Structure 1
Amino acid sequence: MNKITVLKYILLCLIVSQSLFAQTSKPKKSKYNIVVAQDGSGNYKTVQEAFDAVPKLKSERTVIFVKNGTYKEVVTLETDKNNITLIGEDVEKVIITYDNYSSKINPVTNKGYGTSNSSTCFIIGTGFYAKNITFENASGPVGQALAINIQGDKAIFQNCKFLGFQDTMYGADGRQYFRDCYIEGSTDFIFGSSTTFFDNCTLHTKGGSAITAASTKEYVNFGYVFSNCKITGTGSHITTLGRPWRPYAAVVFINTEMSDAIKPAGWNNWGKVENEATARYSEYNSSGIGAYPNERVSWIKKLTANQAKLYKVKNVLKTTYSNPPFVDNWNPNKVIDLYK
């Protein structure tokens, strides 16, 4: 083999190797549209900046990844920012937190924030999905102080934590699904009018009048449904399962393990005997020390096995909150399955 032939062979080998390197080293397309990182290694340093960057009225889903960090900010997802997915790196290390509360003075209005405006996070857009995120109101036991205010329909939370005291979580007219979440608080820490399915969640009470304060509309079939959940607490006989913020409050606990944090009576009429005739409170197969099957108030309903079958995810969430409602067969698991 002469020198020219050898050089041609070497050149050919270099071309082939470069081609193979280019193919194997070509960067893969990221599964995230936006990355949030406090250290500047992402597209934005705050969650709010990421939300603001999403085009309005976008139909396809936008996926935002949040790197570990404590993000002290009030976050608002506007009404025209739909189908947003927010995924945290680690639920214990991705914390969205702030410390507003009802009586705290808002420097813009020179008045108290009020309950609904005290929230750390406002979800108004439709189709929101959060995974591995902690939402916190860090103001402490100072009265009403929301960690999250959910106004948009079809909101989903998976493996998320919600930390606060009074009024930790508020849901307005709409549907929500919580799977494998941890929610803690004191008085009425889950409240509002929403139709919400809590699937395999832990509720941790720090005491107060009730865990739930539902204000379900009369025409709505389902309010709060707790299925295969667990209730823990900081003491014995420190709270009830619910009290009706509005007369037709609807709350059911199915296959839920209850600690002795629950009072034997279980439920409260909010000081109005007439609420006992309208509130739709029920239990099925409650277990644990706090179940007290023979000591519950007489005006709640104990479901049969057949009645309990109605409280399935697909049945509870298939109908809109509109008046009159219509069936759109919303199934939150279709969204969750995209991010396994």
Structure 2
Amino acid sequence: MKLSILCHRVLGALYSNTFVAGIVPTGLAIFPANGAKDVNPDTHLVLTFPNNPKAGTSGLIRIYNAEDKKLVDSIDMSIPPSRYPTGRDPGNTNGATKGAEGQAEEDGTLYQTTIVGGHKFHFFPIIVRANVATVYPHNNKLQYGKTYIVEMDPSVLQSSDGSFIGFSGNNSWTFTTKAAPPTKELIRLVVAADGSGDFNTVQGALDFVPATPSKQTTIFIKNGDYEEIVVLREKSNLIIRGESREKVRVGYPNNSFFNKQEAGDKISRRVAFTLDHCTDIQLSSFTVSNYFIGQAEAVLIEGKRIILDHMTLDGSGDAFTTKPASSTYFVDSQLTGHGDTILGYGAVFFHRSEVHSIGPISWTRTDRGNHGNIFVNSSLLGMDEPLPWSVTAANPKGQRPESVFARLTRNCKAEQIKGMNETEVRARCNFPYAEMVLINTKTSGISPRGWGDIEPNSTFEYTNLHLWEYNTMDAKGVPIDISKRNEVGKQLKMPENATTIADYSNPAFVLGWSPVVV
């Protein structure tokens, strides 16, 4: 997790309940408190130490139903979270961001897995931040109206003074969940990490809400850190709103190494927050971060009529991805990433927003018949920094790629092209209908040529590309020098292009619907 995120974690202040004297070391606090009632079933188990502990690599965490003593959930700490628990390949010396093509993940039983939004993910069963250790039971294992007993072997957590003795027998940890869930008729649900809401986790609330509520439903997230992979799957008519943009932080360390794609996967597994086949969803006023580097989206959208309002997205490569036929209104928001920051298949109307990128702002992959990435009254800022995964022992300075608006290099390998004719290569290996339009856009740190590496016209048809600009400015609002622009781009002018400029300034024209922010 980034230092700026860590500095905000104050969970120790929230969990002040301790066991009775003599059962656990003085100064250890737990949440839920021993004997607590009305606990949300999606609770994590949080231990706040007087010193900084470490997650162990052996021992069991077990949760039992107190009534019949049956085992409800079990975590074996000897099982690693992933083949690549750091999100990097230890054998990699060249800064690659993903494994070899076609390399299958090992048998899932060898690594920790949980189900999120109906999909399997590797996960960390314990995450330690400073002196706070959070234990993550498998999703949806606990139920309403039950009393649970938690047992932990001493080796699952290692305190610096060796005082952690675990929980078992006479010093087991018990709590009772709420008698019943919220009623389905509620149109406002509250998520609070401290247990004061209807749910402790964002995913818990999303799993509960009906797929298509009869009335628009708001999920309100109280200030706090929500370290979880989130998948909103096949839902509609929802607003997910944070209490404050800076103090509601949803995120997870995830990327294409930690959660490699497996045969049959129907979802990208490297994302922190996914909208999977959703419609009429609004995300407002919170931050989403992916704490790993590489191919590591903060947000991926596959859906229609999606609004991101006053959001902060912080990812790495492909930080914000939209799938084909998706349509998104991105307003008064900020996106930061590390090259190809926008992986854009779907239509996105960026309005009064900022994108910060190391390297290309976008790899625009618009399909025929759809619109692409449109920026109106927004800002695009190139960051003069090395790509974080390129900094290695062999190359300590890393690579500082040119910051450009977009690139369209060939996306097929030589062996894939064999047997294709020229028409097939152009159709399958690049994106001849790619569209990125800038209107009244401020820029900083962008290469004078504007548009980056484009496949040569000898093998790629330029006729239908829409790489257009109108009134591009520097950060102070002064018109930019366009004399060195890549010839594949086009400058729109008034009055001859007045209709085009007006059309692309209208989100309804780009998206096919008129966004209304609630």
TM-score range, shorter chain: 0.7 to 0.9
Q: By how many angstroms is 1:114 displaced? A: 11
SS of 1:292's equivalent? coil
1:286 corresponds to: 472
Query: Which among 226, 237, 242 is matched to residue 83 of structure 1?
Result: 237
Does residue 223 (structure 1) correspond to residue 372 (structure 2)? The answer is: yes
Q: How far apart, CA to CA, are the structure 2 residues paired with 1:77 and 1:258?
A: 33
Decide which moves more: 87-96 or 244-253.
244-253
2:317 corresponds to: 166
- Output the aligned Cα RMSD: 2.3
Q: How far apart, CA to CA, are the structure 2 residues paired with 1:115 and 1:188?
A: 20
Structure with more of its chain in helix, by fraction: 1
2:134 corresponds to: none
Does residue 248 (structure 1) correspond to residue 437 (structure 2)? The answer is: no
Check conservation: 1:87, 1:132, Cα contact below 8 A. Answer: yes
Q: How far apart, CA to CA, are the structure 2 residues paired with 1:272 and 1:251?
A: 18
Q: By how many angstroms is 1:55 displaced? A: 1.3
- Residue ranges of structure 1 left out of the alignment (5+ in a row): 1-30, 319-329
Q: How does 1:184-263 map to 2 (within 5 A)?
A: 184-205=336-357, 207-208=358-359, 210-220=360-370, 222-235=371-384, 238-244=402-408, 246-259=431-444, 261-263=445-447
Q: How far apart, CA to CA, are the structure 2 residues paired with 1:59 and 1:281?
A: 42
Check conservation: 1:102, 1:114, Cα contact below 8 A. Answer: no
SS of 2:473's equivalent? coil
Q: How far apart, CA to CA, are the structure 2 residues paired with 1:198 and 1:105?
A: 29
Aligned residues: 284
Q: Taking every aligned residue pair, what percent have the same amino acid on both sides?
A: 31
SS of 2:450's equivalent? coil
Does residue 46 (structure 1) correspond to residue 230 (structure 2)? The answer is: no
2:488 corresponds to: 299
2:514 corresponds to: 331
Decide which moves more: 241-250 or 186-195.
241-250
Q: How far apart, CA to CA, are the structure 1 residues paired with 2:225 and 2:379?
A: 27
1:321 corresponds to: none
Does residue 264 (structure 1) correspond to residue 448 (structure 2)? The answer is: yes
> CA 1:247–1:56 in 2, change beyond 3 Å: closer, same or farther?
same
Counterpart of 2:490, as a letter, is K
Check conservation: 1:269, 1:275, Cα contact below 8 A. Answer: no
Counterpart of 1:129, as a letter, is Q
Q: How far apart, CA to CA, are the structure 1 residues paired with 2:471 and 2:456?
A: 28
Q: By how many angstroms is 1:103 displaced? A: 2.1
Q: By how many angstroms is 1:52 displaced? A: 0.8
Check conservation: 1:101, 1:114, Cα contact below 8 A. Answer: no
> CA 1:114–1:123 in 2, change beyond 3 Å: closer, same or farther?
closer
SS of 1:309's equivalent? helix
Q: How far apart, CA to CA, are the structure 1 residues paired with 2:331 and 2:441?
A: 14
Check conservation: 1:115, 1:146, Cα contact below 8 A. Answer: no
Q: How far apart, CA to CA, are the structure 1 residues paired with 2:189 and 2:471?
A: 44
CA deviation vs aligned residue, 1:266-316 (integer Å, no higher than 9, x gap): 112444432544421000000017933111111211112302111111222
Check conservation: 1:116, 1:146, Cα contact below 8 A. Answer: no
> CA 1:51–1:102 in 2, change beyond 3 Å: closer, same or farther?
same
Check conservation: 1:277, 1:299, Cα contact below 8 A. Answer: no
Check conservation: 2:361, 2:380, Cα contact below 8 A. Answer: no
Q: How far apart, CA to CA, are the structure 2 residues paired with 1:115 and 1:272?
A: 33
Query: Which among 297, 300, 305 is matched to residue 154 of structure 1?
Result: 305
> CA 1:43–1:115 in 2, change beyond 3 Å: closer, same or farther?
closer
1:178 corresponds to: 330
1:21 corresponds to: none
Q: How far apart, CA to CA, are the structure 2 residues paired with 1:65 and 1:166?
A: 29
CA deviation vs aligned residue, 1:28-55 (integer Å, no higher than 9, x gap): xxx9610000011100000000001111
Does residue 121 (structure 1) correspond to residue 121 (structure 2)? The answer is: no
SS of 2:190's equivalent? strand
CA deviation vs aligned residue, 1:207-260 (integer Å, no higher than 9, x gap): 22x10111111122x21110000123332983110113622110001101111x
Q: By how many angstroms is 1:105 displaced? A: 4.7
